[in-house]
Structure 1
C-alpha cells in the first residue's frame, strides 16, 4: 500500500487541487518561508551531488520543511509510526481534508530562514519532492505521511558575513545569501548586470531582502558578478549581481537606513557529513 501511494504521488506531482490554485493566485509575490525552504533544499541537492551522495541532481521537498516547522522537537505527527497507509486511512483523510469544503482558517506560522530549514533537514531528513505535497499546498499532511521514506541529511550550517569568507565556500558548492532588491532595477535588468539603486533617486523603490542561491562568480562587461538564482514575482530566474557595487540609504520616516553594504549579504551553506 505504501509503495502504491508513492507511485500515485509521483504521477500527480505538480498538479494542484482547485483550492491550492485559488490560494496560489491570491498569494502575494513573496512568501519568505517558502522561498527560504526552496533555497535550502537547492543547497542540499547541490551539496549531495558534489559529494556524490546522489548520482544526479535530486530535488527534495521544500513543502516538507514548511509543514513540519516548529514540530522538530515534538514526538507528534512527524515520527508517529502507528498511523499506517491503508485504504481506510487514505479515504478518511480525503473525506476530512480534501473532499469536504471547509471554511478557510488563518493559521499563523513562524517565518522560516534558510538556516532554520537546513537545521530541520539535519534533524529529520528529507523526502524527495515528488513524494510530498507541492510547495504552497494548503492541505494538512496526513498522519500516515510518516511512512514516506526520507533521505537522512547530516551536517552543520556554516555562515559567513563577508563575501571573501563566502567565496571560499563557493569554491566547493553553491551558497545561500540574501539580496537587496530595488525596483525597477530588478525588473528591467534582463541579461545585464543588477547593480542596485540608480544614482538618481527618482522612481527607485526598495523592495527588501530576498533569499537567493549563488551558483558561481564570473567576469562580465568588466565587472565581477555573482550568478544568482532568485524567485521574484512568482518566477525563478538567474540574475548577474554586481559584487563591486556598494550602496547606502538614508533613514526615512520609520524606516531605518541601510549600508554602506554590498548587494549580497548573510551567506550560508550546508556542510554535509558523508558518515
Structure 2
C-alpha cells in the first residue's frame, strides 16, 4: 500500500486511477483501498514518443495554433490560449483563410485590469492574475482584441508594466451570440474536441512539469514532488496509447518545453485535495475546466466539403441524410474492406484485429424519434424504436431534429446455443460514422472504436430489448494485432457466429468505398463461407466470379475505378443491359499471376447473376489464393513474431 502525499501550504494531493460514473464517496473509498505506487521507469515512454512524433507528421497540428518560438519568459497562459482559440475559430468557420494571430499582450492588460494592477503593486513582473479562459473569451466577444504586434511575436514582453495602446484600430470580436462553453466533464471534452482546440487548466507538479519531454505527463511521481498550481494549456487532440487515454496539449512556454512546445498528458489520472482539517475536496482530472467558444456544427457548405458529398453528415427533414428509395446504393456510403492478399507492414504495431460477426451488413440511422436500418442495396431491413439518440419517441431520447446517429453494423440473427440455432436479433456495431449529429468520418479508427465502446454503454443501447428499444446493440471486441490479440480474435469465445477477421489500420479515417486500410481475412475455422458457393450451397470445382457488364461489353470488378478482366461477345451480351451482373468461370489455366499480380484471365461466360454486386479485385485474388496457396493464420502469427524480433534488435 502506497500513500503519495505532497504537502503545500494548505493541502496534500493524492493520485488515483480514473473511475468513471461513480459517486465521489465511492471514489474516496477506492482511493484508500487500491492506491498503488506509480513506477515511472515502467512507463512505455517509447510508445508515447512515437505517437506524438507521428501526430506532428500526420496531422500538422500547427494549422489551428500559432507558431511557437523559444522564450525565456512564458506568455500569460490564459491570454495565450484564449487568443489561440479565437484564431482557430475564425479559421475553422471560414472568417479567415489563413491563421491570424491576436495580441496576448492587449488581452493581458485590458481583460483583467484590476487583477493586473494588484500584481503590479506587489512588484510582480509576470503574473497570471488568476484569470480564466472563459472570462478572456467573453472579453473578446464584448470588447474585442487587435492583431498581435510583430515585435511581440518575436520577443518577450513584460506582462505587468509594458502596457499596449488602448482601443487601437481594427479590433476583432466574437459574434455577440457566440456561446462560451465551460465544463469539467470528460464527456463534454470529447464533444468539444471534435471540431476545434479546447482550453483547459493543468495541475502542475515540480520537477515533473519542468522536466517533461516526449514522455507522458502523469503528475506527481514521488514524495518529493511539489504541487505548483494550475497552468492554462490548449488541448489539440485526444489519443489512446497502450489502452491509456491521453491528451496532446500545447503549452505557452515555447518550443523548449516538451516536444516543440507540446506535451502529452494522462487522462486516466485524478487528483484529490485534502485540507488541514482532513476535509476532502472534489476529485479532478489532471486537466480540468475545459473551455472553448462554441462552433456551429459543420454543414457541407460551411466546411468547404462540396467535393465530399459522400461524407456529409448534415440532416434536415426536407433533405434526409439517407435516401428512402429502395434502389439507393448504400455501397456509396459504406466503408468496404479489401481482402487480405498480402500481409501489411507493421501489422502488430499499426493495426487492430476483431472477429467479424456473421450476418447482414447495414447502416443504422436514428433521427426524429425512429430508427431505420438499411442493407447494402438500400432496402429497409427494420424500422424500429431504439435507445440511440433520436431513435424513439421516449422522452429524453428523441431530442431535436439534428440529434441523429449513424452506425455501421452487422445484424446477427441466430447464434449456436447448446448445439442448436437460437435467435439472437442483435445489431453488432463495427464502426460509428456520426454521433448526435457530429461527423466522425475524419477521425481515426482508434478514436472511433473508443467512442463506440463508451457511448453505446452510456445511453443503454446495449440493454436487453424493451418497448422503446426493440433490438439490442452490442459492440465488437477489438484487439491490438499482437500475438495475444490475434489469438483472442481467432479462437476466443464470442456471443455470435464468426465470419472471418477484420483488420483496421489504427489511423484509418472512415473512407467510403473499398479501402486497403481495412482488410478481411477468412479460413474454414473462423468462417462458414470462405469461398462463394453455388445455388446448392456447394463450392464449385471451378473458380466462379461475378462481374459487371459495361456499355462496351467489358466485364469489370466493383472497384473504383473498376478493373476490366474480360468481355462478352455480341451473342453473349445480347439483351443484357449495361450494369448487369454475370457469372463467369476461370477455365484453362484460369487466372495467371506474375509476381503476385494478375497478368491474364481466361474466363468463360456462365449466366446472368442475381447478385446485387460484382466481386472486387481483392476478393477475386483472395479466393484464387484460397484454392491454391492460402494465406494461413500461422503466416499472420509468424509475421507478428518477426516484427517483434526486429523491434527487440533495434537500438
Aligning the two structures, in what range does the TM-score lie when normalised by the shorter sequence? Answer: 0.5 to 0.7
Task: Name the one with the larger helix percent.
Answer: 1
Identify which of 248, 272, 281 aligns with 1:227: 248
Shift of 1:235: 5.5
Structure-1 residue corresponding to 2:408: none
Deviations 1:94-146 (Å, cap 9, x if unpaired)?
A: xxxxxxxxxx976899642211211111012221102796753533334xx53
Structure-1 residue corresponding to 2:91: 49
Q: 1:256, 1:187 → 2: CA distance?
A: 30
Structure-1 residue corresponding to 2:454: none
The answer on 1:115 being equivalent to 2:134 is: yes
Cα distance, 1:62–1:223 mapped onto 2, change above 3 Å: same
Structure-2 residue corresponding to 1:168: 191
Report the secondary structure of 1:153's partner residue: coil
Structure-1 residue corresponding to 2:173: 152
Cα distance, 1:61–1:132 mapped onto 2, change above 3 Å: farther
Cα distance, 1:249–1:153 mapped onto 2, change above 3 Å: closer
Structure-1 residue corresponding to 2:213: 190
Tell me which moved more, 109-118 or 237-246: 109-118
Unaligned runs of 5+ in 2: 1-70, 114-119, 297-301, 303-651
Shift of 1:195: 1.0
Structure-2 residue corresponding to 1:243: 267
Report the secondary structure of 1:240's partner residue: strand
Structure-2 residue corresponding to 1:69: 111
Structure-2 residue corresponding to 1:36: 78
The answer on 1:264 being equivalent to 2:287 is: yes
Q: 1:256, 1:190 → 2: CA distance?
A: 35
C-alpha RMSD of matched pairs (Å)? 3.4
Tell me which moved more, 105-114 or 44-53: 105-114
Q: 1:133, 1:106 → 2: CA distance?
A: 24
Cα distance, 1:107–1:60 mapped onto 2, change above 3 Å: same
Report the secondary structure of 1:180's partner residue: strand
Q: Count matched residues.
A: 210
CA contact (8 A) 1:64 1:132 kept: no
Q: 1:148, 1:122 → 2: CA distance?
A: 16
Deviations 1:27-54 (Å, cap 9, x if unpaired)?
A: xx777xx211111001111111111111
Report the secondary structure of 1:165's partner residue: helix
Deviations 1:72-111 (Å, cap 9, x if unpaired)?
A: xxxxxxxxxxxxxxxxxxxxxxxxxxxxxxxx97689964
* Structure number, greater radius of gyration: 2
CA contact (8 A) 2:274 2:281 kept: yes
CA contact (8 A) 1:131 1:148 kept: no
Report the secondary structure of 2:293's partner residue: strand
Shift of 1:196: 1.4
Report the secondary structure of 2:233's partner residue: strand
Higher RCO structure, 1 or 2 (CA under 8 Å, sep 6+):
1
Q: 1:188, 1:258 → 2: CA distance?
A: 28
